[in-house]
Homo-oligomer: A and B are copies of this chain.
Amino acid sequence: MKRRFPDDRSNLEARFAAQRLAFGPMMFQATRVLRRCGALAFLYKRELDGASVEELAEAVDISLYAARILLEAGLAAELVQLEGDRYVITRVGYFVLRDPMTEVNMNFVHDVCYRSMFHFEEALAEGKPAGLREHGDWATVYEGLTQLPTHVRDSWLAFDHYYSDGVFEGVLPKVFASEPARVLDVGGNTGKFALACCGHDPKVEITIVDLPRQLELAKANLREAGVASRVEFVAANMLDPEVALPGGHDVIWMSQFLDCFSEAEIVHILECAARVMDADTRLYILETYWDRQDYEAARYAVINTSLYFTAIANGNSKMYHSERMQACLEQAGLVLDADLGTMGYHTLFRCKKAQG
């Protein structure tokens, strides 16, 4: 009897898919260089006429050998197609050339992740970011961020911004629908959300809680924006078992914060929040869940980001399934009050204390 599988691929297709995984690092580097050396840009200009090996080598000033290596790799990666002896850029090649998401991902993978991912197996086994040592001697990437070489930090920030920029715009009307007077921003980081709140509502007062190092950055940014008088800064390490959050806020806000922690740590942080919440307090959680993405490429990027958390960031966090977050809420004595839907890559949950 033939063995059955849930996918309807033929053996030939499955074997080819397996080779694509097996040679992933090779094709990645070739794709990256095809883009960087100007080959894809040149082929894009040539439209359906394409270019011969010789024309490409001359146009982008590389050796004939390099041109052959790159174009043949491009053929395997399906970035180019061979028409007679002319290489023509495909739609995939076009996306590698022009799509900002692809560029941001490739730079992040090369500059931040590539070398570190060699230690992925060790990281998973130990629950520690074993790949981080390729960058420096830190316990988590957050400690080392300011010390990373400029191009590495730039790639890290570009990745972070690409998936987050603009999200507050859609979120603020929902958070401010209840006209909160005081907002507690847990893990306020550089003060971006606090600043957006101050701009959105002229009276709201914000309390930012974060590690001392982050608070300095937030303070500087909010002072520069002239709104520091409306913001209070509270230094706290949310992993400290004895940590307590300040009380008296209408809204508690956690944006892209909980994905930096393990499930056990998330429950601990949510319990801290629950302790300062009453029946009217609302906790808003903004996260990128891998099960809540609009299209396949987005889900793919979010899942891949988990591997970065394992090997480089902290060794024990990830991009979660939305149901895991709900399980954490429940354990912390909270419930989902309203699922406010997905904006871009992010989903906004409004939570409240469980009754009883």
Chain A: residues with CB nearer than 8 A to chain B?
3-7, 9, 11-33, 36-37, 47-48, 62-63, 65-66, 68-70, 72-73, 75-79, 81, 83, 88-92, 94-96, 99, 101-102, 105-106, 109-110, 113-115, 117-118, 120-121, 124-125, 127, 262-263, 290, 295-297, 299-301, 303-304, 306-308, 310-311, 316, 318, 321
**In the complex, what residue of chain B is closest to A75 when comparing beta carbons?**
B303
**CB-contact partner of A296 in B12, B22, B114, under 8 A:** B12
Asked whether A23 and B105 contact (CB < 8 A) given A81-B6, A121-B33, A306-B69, the answer is yes
B25 pairs with A318, CB closer than 8 A: no
Tell me the dominant secondary structure on chain A's binding face.
Answer: helix
- Of A296, A299, A307, chain B has the most CB atoms within 10 Å of the CB of A307
B29 to A69, Cβ gap below 8 A? no
Residues of B within 8 A of A28 (CB): 21-22, 24-25
Known: A77-B21, A121-B33. A92 touches B7 (CB 8 A): yes
In angstroms, how far is the closest chain B Cβ from the Cβ of A261? 11
In the complex, A121 Cα to B297 Cα: how many Å?
Answer: 26
In the complex, what distance in Å separates the CA atom of A16 from the CA atom of B297?
5
A-B contact pairs, 25 of them (CB 8 A): A5-B48, A5-B89, A5-B90, A6-B48, A7-B90, A7-B92, A9-B90, A14-B95, A15-B95, A15-B102, A19-B105, A21-B27, A21-B96, A22-B105, A22-B106, A22-B109, A23-B304, A24-B24, A24-B25, A25-B28, A26-B308, A30-B120, A63-B127, A65-B127, A65-B262
